[in-house]
């Protein structure tokens, strides 16, 4: 859901939920490959995710970085809000 919202906000050419799910799967695959070959690959996760989003959602890299940032913030807000309710 956060990725789909980010794609809608930046005006991605391909922004339906199924394509966003595909972009998320591609990003996860690239992150697994990155962590296999780079020692601290998770530090590059936002940049790598943005590359996957740019390729799948058909946006330029700056918009893909915005999508990754929006996804990161929205996911963080959901997790923090959920953990505050559970505590």
pLDDT in tens, 11-61: 989 889 999 999 999 999 998 888 888 877 666 888 889 999 999 999 999
Task: Answer for the pair 6, 66: CB distance below 8 angstroms, yes or no.
Answer: yes
| Residue ranges making up the domain that contains 56 | 2-86
Q: What is the pLDDT of residue 33?
A: 87
CA distance 67 to 51: 11
- Per the structure, the count of domains in the chain is 1
pTM: 0.82
Q: What is the pLDDT of residue 87?
A: 61
User: Count H helices, E strands: the chain?
Assistant: 4, 0
CA distance 70 to 41: 21
Torsion sign (Cα): 67, 5, 52, 33: positive
pLDDT in tens, 56-84: 999 999 999 999 999 888 888 888 777 77
Q: What is the pLDDT of residue 22?
A: 94
């Amino acid at each position: 859901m956060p990725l789909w919202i980010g794609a809608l906000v930046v005006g991605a050419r391909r922004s339906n939920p199924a394509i966003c799910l595909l972009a998320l799967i591609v990003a996860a695959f690239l992150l697994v490959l990155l962590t296999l070959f780079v020692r601290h690959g998770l530090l590059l996760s936002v940049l790598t995710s943005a590359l996957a989003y740019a390729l799948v959602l058909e946006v330029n890299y700056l918009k893909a970085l915005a999508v990754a940032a929006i996804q990161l913030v929205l996911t963080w807000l959901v997790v923090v809000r959920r953990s505050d309710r559970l505590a």
